[in-house]
Chains A and B, each alone.
Chain A
Amino acid sequence: MTALTAFPTSTRTPRVDSRGGRKAGAPYLFLAPALILFVLFLLAPILYSAYLSLRRVKVSGLGLGVGSRHEVWAGLSNYVRSMTDPDFLPSVYRVLAYGMIVVPTMLGLALLMALLLDAGRTRVGTFARTAIFLPYAVPAVVASLLWGFLYLPRVSPITDLLTSVGLTPPDLLSDSWVLYAVANIAVWGGTGFNMIVLYTALRSIPTDLFEAARLDGASDIQIAWRIKIPIVLPSLIMTFVFSLIATLQVFAEPMTLRPLSNTISTTWTPLMKVYRDAFTRNDVYSAAATSVVIALATFVVSFGFLKLVGNRAFNQED
């Protein structure tokens, strides 16, 4: 809330005739709604989390009497504890492996479908586009429940199908398959959105470029590879960054599948660990510390990547 005091007061802003006051105040006035919402619902919670991450509860004795619980400064001990938790690093590696499956598969499929839809411009109706996009409209929890039913051997039609043709179906929620099982849900749910982004970028390419290429004897594949993909590269980079962030924050799918099997632990991903600490263990302080670390990591990874590719995604004029 202290940030608000730096904000120009209303006596200054609307005054028209006071020596350039209008010039200085007007932008702030127009920015005010966004700024207030930003401060109240983003900045303040972030600062509060950072504050909480430096605090801890200390109880004395049995901890049962009134006043036996105190909040005290913890320094960086919450950070040390959360980083040295034996469950933390495995959850990070797991998410990295998960990302290496999800991001390339999802973006590859999205690009392929966008190119196919774009190539067939008039022949393919909106039906295909809607059908591909539809899974994105299904909430992750619902999608995970649906897939959960398909994964469980006894209730799964997939198992029935494989058994009837004489194959031994794998237990998709066993240790060796569960990562792919979760990744599959994310790919299923995310491909549609990325496809639409890429498709929209493809549609905005002037058609005379293709016509010229076609006159020069270029095939559809050559057109896609040499013209379309380079032009939509900024969109591709943007979807990549979004997917990267979504990967680091994977939560709903494994959380929903967890009670169905023995293989997904309560700290399967870093965010699940945050949830467990805050709401199962009632330790919001160490949960806040882990969230700050995740937020910083996300920040570094996404901006690091953008730097690496030279801001091509957001400055399309370059």
Chain B
Amino acid sequence: MRKTFLPLAGVLTAALMMTTACSGSDDKGSAGGSTTKPGEKVELTYWTWAPNMDKVVEGWNTAHPDIHVTVNKQDGGDPAVTKLLTAIKAGSGAPDVMQAEYQKIPTLVSANAVTDISKEAGSLKSKFPDSAWNAVTLGSEALYGVPQDSGPMMFYYRSDVFQKLGLDGPKTWDDYAADARKIHAANKKQYLGTFSANDPGWFAGLSQQAGASWWGINGDTWSVAINEPNTQKVANYWGGLVQEGVVDNKPMYTPEWNAALNDGTQVGWVSSVWGPGVLDGSAKNTKGKWKAALMPQWDAASPANGNWGGSATSVTSQSKHKAEAAQFIAWLNTDPAGIQALVTQANVYPASVDSSAALTSPPAFFADQSDFYSIAAESAKITKPFTYGPNVNVAYSSYNDAFGKAAQSKKAADFPAALATMQQTTIDDMKNTGFKVSG
């Protein structure tokens, strides 16, 4: 098996070397490039939290005896960023290559933790959808990573419950609200979903679908648009459903929520392409009763979507082997062998547009739904662009607190008020740190 990687990887390496050679002519050996002498073996370290990444990397190491990558498993997106920022502040200890969630990239760039690899990997643009590429360039000429996986939002629901009540899967958010009412009316204990004040990424995805982009860059000024009409529409919608009591107001990812999925109290989940893995763990008893679908739409005539989750692979500013690191990243995220390994070993949904060959059979939890990955592809295709700012962490923790209060109060009027708090907190923080900001 492994031997088949060799020719492919060889071609890719050659192609990469050519692109670096072509684009590197005006480079005059500045910050980029490598300090390695020819013939010397290069050692790269790689921080990631995706499962089985060491096995994925084995494929690379076998095919590239001169560039050896060591995987260092991390706890998850947030702790890895905290660790990296500490290492950057300390001046040493950072890895060469780092997995970074899309929403963290502006923070990492602002802290000068990741380096621009546009010369080494800029030619990969055509391999990725615009929304993913925009997330790693921040709309600039620079390139702060190569997209790895994306998390287009998807809707999962209990088809048996829908069938019993004579309902179809919801096509629009109006349908979703109507279905939520009918389901809750038929069984007071059942809910079609929950509004989770613990998952700011989820709410950001919903707002992205509605057409929001919470941050923006205009020349040398940031803009913040959290409290804007599209997001207000989303907040009002969920606030109304929570006040009516037809969706739950408890956070996701609690023991209680797991139990609710498993015992049929929660009969729908507004989630993302990686949802099946979670359902597999928490809703075992209901396997085979669920259906995956496109997200409910605001306007069925022009379908749109948002992301919840997804990450890129970046080269850190402390790496002494930028070229080799970029070469490894390109293999991992665009080479058919790399993508295949990502799908089968690490269970991620690749961001690359050439991933359909690797995505043949549906995930185990949806074994009966053969069109799972064509729905996922459709969900990814209609994803709207969204720009993250340099203080996503501040906005997100403000979401936790402000929407926690709103969800607990169950008053629809508190939801738009929570948005106003988020906007204010985010702008105040940016102004206080010295960013040029408007809005």
Contacts and interface: CB of A to CB of B under 8 A. Distances in A.
Interface of A: 57-64, 66-69, 81, 87, 148-149, 152-155, 174-175, 259-267, 276, 279-282
B346 interface: no
Interface of B: 82, 85, 106-107, 109-112, 138, 140, 197-198, 217, 220-222, 249-251, 253-256, 259-260, 265, 390-391, 393-394, 396-397, 400-401, 404-405, 407-408, 429, 432-436
A262 B251 contact: yes
A65 to B, nearest CB: 8
B390 A69 contact: no
A175 B365 CA distance: 37
12 contacts: A61-B221, A62-B217, A62-B435, A63-B390, A63-B434, A81-B432, A260-B254, A261-B250, A280-B396, A281-B394, A281-B429, A282-B82
Contacts of A62: 217, 220-222, 390, 435-436
A154 B390 contact: no
A64 B251 CA distance: 34
A60 B111 CA distance: 12
A148 B256 CA distance: 10
B256 A154 contact: yes
Contacts of A282: 82, 85, 107, 111, 393
Contacts of A267: 401
Given A62-B222, A262-B408, A154 B265 contact: yes
B82 A262 contact: no
A282 B430 CA distance: 13
A260 B260 contact: no
Contacts of A152: 254-256
Contacts of B106: 64
Given A262-B404, A280-B397, A60 B260 contact: no
Contact of A259 (B110, B138, B221, B251): B251
A148, A153, A260, A282: which has the most chain B beta carbons within 10 Å? A282
Contacts of B254: 152, 259-261
Contact of A281 (B109, B397, B404, B407): B397
B408 A154 contact: no
A63, A175, A263: which has the most chain B beta carbons within 10 Å? A63
A64 B394 contact: no
B106, B107, B393, B429: which has the most chain A beta carbons within 10 Å? B393
Nearest to A67: B112
Nearest to A259: B198
A68 B112 CA distance: 9
Contact of A263 (B220, B393, B404): B404
Nearest to A77: B432
B66 to A, nearest CB: 30
Contact of B408 (A68, A174, A280): A174
Given A64-B109, A67-B112, A282-B82, 7 more contacts: A63-B434, A64-B140, A64-B390, A69-B111, A280-B396, A281-B391, A281-B393
A265 B405 CA distance: 8
B435 A59 contact: yes
Given A60-B434, A61-B220, A62-B435, A153 B256 contact: yes
Given A59-B435, A280-B393, A282-B85, A260 B256 contact: yes
Contact of A262 (B197, B255, B433): B197
B396 to A, nearest CB: 8
Contacts of A155: 255-256, 259
Contacts of B138: 64
A57, A62, A263: which has the most chain B beta carbons within 10 Å? A62
Contacts of A81: 432
A64, A69, A152, A174: which has the most chain B beta carbons within 10 Å? A64
Contact of B259 (A154, A175, A263, A279): A154
A68 B256 CA distance: 45
Listed from nearest, the 6 A-B pairs whose CB atoms lie closest are: A262-B404, A262-B408, A152-B256, A265-B401, A61-B220, A154-B256
Nearest to B400: A266
Nearest to A57: B433
A264 B405 CA distance: 9
